C-alpha cells in the first residue's frame, strides 16, 4: 500500500539568526536575498514543485516582514499595472498564496527545531508532513523535496535528506548510522545530533529537508532538552529508527548551500548569480577581475 500523500509542509522560521547579527536584529534571516529573491521563496518554490498545498510557518517576534511578503501588495500591483510592467507583475505572482493555503503559528521562545515543529502539531494533524529549513538552499535539476517524496512513496516511514560532510564539519550536524548500506536510499539504524568527530557513526549528515510521520510529533511530546539545551528534532526522529515503519535517508542529487552561515550565503550568492542567464557574463568577468587583482596583490 502506498503511503498517504504529503501535502503539508512546516517552515520553522522562529530562530534568532544570531550568525547574521546585526542584520537579523530587524530583518528575518529568511527574508535575506539571494540575487533578487528572499531565501524563503526558494523553499516555497521547492515545496510547491513537490506537491505541497498547505504551508505552515512557525514564526516568532519580529518576523512580520515574512507575513507581508506572502500577501498581496495592492498599491505596488496597481502602479505596475498602470505603467504596463507585466513582467514584474508576473514575478510577483510567485509570492502570492491562495487564501487559506498559508498558516502561521507562534513559537514564543526559541527552544530548538524540535520544539518549533511541535508548535505546529495541531495544524499538521494525523498525516505525514514535510519540514523545510529555508536557510538550506538546494540547487538541483530535480527539486530535493520532490526527490524525497518519490523515494518516500516507495519506503513510507520517515525520510531525511543526507549529504557527505568532512570530519572537521561533522560536529555541526545530525549524523546518520546507516551501517554498511550503499545506494541512494538507505535504512537508518540510528541518528545522533552534533557528535564529536571521533564519535560520529558516519560521514553522512542530515540537512534541512524532512518527511515525517505524525508519530514524530508524539515523540516530541515527551522530548527533553538534548544537545545544546534545545529540544532536538533529531532525537524525536531517532526514536522512529526502532519502529517497523523506520527511518530512511536519501542521498539527494544537488548542491546544498548553508545560507544560515556567512560563508555559505556568499557561496550561494556566487553560484546563483552565475546561474542566472541575465547576469552570468557580467558577473563572471567581474569575479575574474577581482581574483586577478587579489592574486597580483599577494
Ligand atoms: P539554526 O540552528 O540555524 O538557528 O536553526 P537560528 O536561530 O536560525 O540561527 P543562528 O544559529 O542563531 O544564527 C535552524 C532552523 O530552525 C529554526 C530556524 O529559524 C532555522 O530555520 N528554528 C530554530 C526555530 O524555528 N526555532 C528554534 O527554536 C530554533
Q: What is the 3-state secondary structure (H, E, C) of 128-185?
A: CEEEECCCEEEECCCCHHHHHHHHHHHHCCEEEEEEECCCCCHHHCEEEECCCCCCCE
DSSP 228: G
> How many angstroms separate the alpha carbon of residue 133 from the centre of ligand 1?
8
- pTM assigned to the model: 0.94
Using a 6 Å CB cutoff, which residues line ligand 1?
12-19, 29, 58, 107, 110-113, 115-116, 133-135, 260
Contact 258, 175 (CB under 8 A): no
How distant, in Å, are the alpha carbons of 32, 38, 66, 265 from that of 29? Answer: 5, 9, 10, 11
What is the predicted pLDDT for the residue at 64? 86
Pairwise pLDDT comparison (47 vs 295), residue with the higher score? 47
Cβ neighbour number for residue 26 with a 10 Å cutoff: 8
Q: Give the list of residues 6+ apart from residue 261 with CB closer than 8 angstroms, or none.
A: 19
> How many angstroms separate the alpha carbon of residue 13 from the centre of ligand 1?
7
Cell of 137: 538552499
Q: How many degrees, rounded to 5, is the angle at CA 153 between CA 147 and CA 158?
A: 85
Residue with cell 539504524: 189
Pairwise pLDDT comparison (176 vs 225), residue with the higher score? 176
What is the predicted pLDDT for the residue at 211? 98
24: phi then psi, degrees, rounded to nearest 5: -80, 5
Spatial separation of the C-alpha atoms in residues 137 and 32, rounded to whole Å: 12
Spatial separation of the C-alpha atoms in residues 291 and 298, rounded to whole Å: 11
> How many angstroms separate the alpha carbon of residue 109 from the centre of ligand 1?
11
pLDDT confidence of 228, banded at 50, 70, 90?
A: low
Q: What percent of the chain has pLDDT over 70?
A: 97
CATH of 8-260, one of 2.60.40.10, 3.40.50.300, 3.40.710.10, 3.90.550.10: 3.90.550.10
> How many angstroms separate the alpha carbon of residue 234 from the centre of ligand 1?
14
Domain residue spans of the chain: 8-260
Residue with cell 533578487: 36
Q: How many degrees, rounded to 5, is the angle at CA 209 between CA 14 and CA 262?
A: 60
Q: Is the peptide bond before 22 cis (omega within 30 degrees of 0)?
A: yes
Spatial separation of the C-alpha atoms in residues 129 and 150, rounded to whole Å: 14
Three-state secondary structure call for residue 251 = strand
Which residue's alpha carbon is nearest to atom 22 within ligand 1? 15
Q: Over the stretch 128-139, which tens digit does the pLDDT of each residue have?
A: 999 999 999 999
* Mean pLDDT of all residues belonging to the chain: 92
Helix or strand holding residue 264 (H, E): helix 262-274
Dihedral in degrees, nearest 10, Cα atoms 162, 140, 272, 112: -30
Contact 174, 159 (CB under 8 A): no
Cell of 269: 550568492
pLDDT confidence of 184, banded at 50, 70, 90?
A: very high
Query: What separation, in Å, do the N-terminal and C-terminal C-alpha atoms of the chain show?
Result: 63
Residue 208: alpha-carbon gap to chain centroid:
4
DSSP 187: E
pLDDT confidence of 226, banded at 50, 70, 90?
A: low
Mean pLDDT for 131-152 is 97
Q: Where is average pLDDT lowest: 9-18, 190-199, 247-256? A: 190-199
What is the predicted pLDDT for the residue at 2? 80
Amino acid at each position: 500500500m502506498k503511503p498517504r500523500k504529503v501535502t503539508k509542509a512546516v517552515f520553522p522560521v522562529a530562530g534568532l539568526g544570531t550568525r547574521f547579527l546585526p542584520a537579523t536584529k530587524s530583518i528575518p534571516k529568511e527574508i535575506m536575498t539571494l540575487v533578487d529573491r528572499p531565501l524563503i521563496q526558494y523553499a516555497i518554490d521547492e515545496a510547491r514543485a513537490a506537491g505541497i498545498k498547505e504551508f505552515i510557518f512557525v514564526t516568532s517576534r519580529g518576523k512580520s516582514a515574512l507575513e507581508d511578503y506572502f500577501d498581496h501588495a495592492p498599491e505596488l500591483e496597481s502602479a505596475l499595472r498602470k505603467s504596463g510592467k507585466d513582467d514584474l507583475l508576473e514575478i510577483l505572482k510567485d509570492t502570492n498564496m491562495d487564501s487559506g493555503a498559508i498558516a502561521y503559528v507562534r513559537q514564543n521562545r526559541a527552544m530548538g527545531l524540535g520544539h518549533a515543529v511541535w508548535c505546529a502539531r495541531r495544524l499538521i494533524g494525523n498525516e505525514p508532513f514535510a519540514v523545510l529549513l529555508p536557510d538550506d538552499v538546494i540547487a538541483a535539476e530535480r527539486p530535493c523535496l520532490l526527490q524525497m517524496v518519490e523515494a518516500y512513496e516507495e519506503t513510507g516511514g520517515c525520510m531525511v535528506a543526507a549529504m557527505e560532510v568532512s570530519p572537521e564539519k561533522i560536529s555541526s550536524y545530525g549524523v546518520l548510522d546507516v551501517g554498511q548500506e550503499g545506494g541512494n536510499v538507505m535504512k537508518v539504524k540510528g541518528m545522533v545530533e552534533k557528535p564529536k568527530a571521533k564519535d560520529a557513526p558516519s560521514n553522512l549528515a542530515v540537512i534541512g529537508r524532512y518527511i515525517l510521520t505524525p508519530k514524530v510529533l508524539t515523540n516530541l511530546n515527551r522530548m527533553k532538552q538534548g544537545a545544546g539545551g534545545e529540544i532536538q528534532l533529531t532525537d524525536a526522529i531517532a526514536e522512529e529508527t526502532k519502529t517497523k515503519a523506520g527511518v530512511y535517508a536519501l542521498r539527494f542529487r544537488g548542491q546544498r548551500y548553508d545560507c544560515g552561515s556567512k560563508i555559505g550565503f556568499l557561496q550561494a550568492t556566487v553560484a546563483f548569480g552565475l546561474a542566472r542567464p541575465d547576469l552570468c557574463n557580467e558577473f563572471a568577468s567581474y569575479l575574474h577581475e577581482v581574483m586577478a587583482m587579489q592574486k597580483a596583490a599577494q
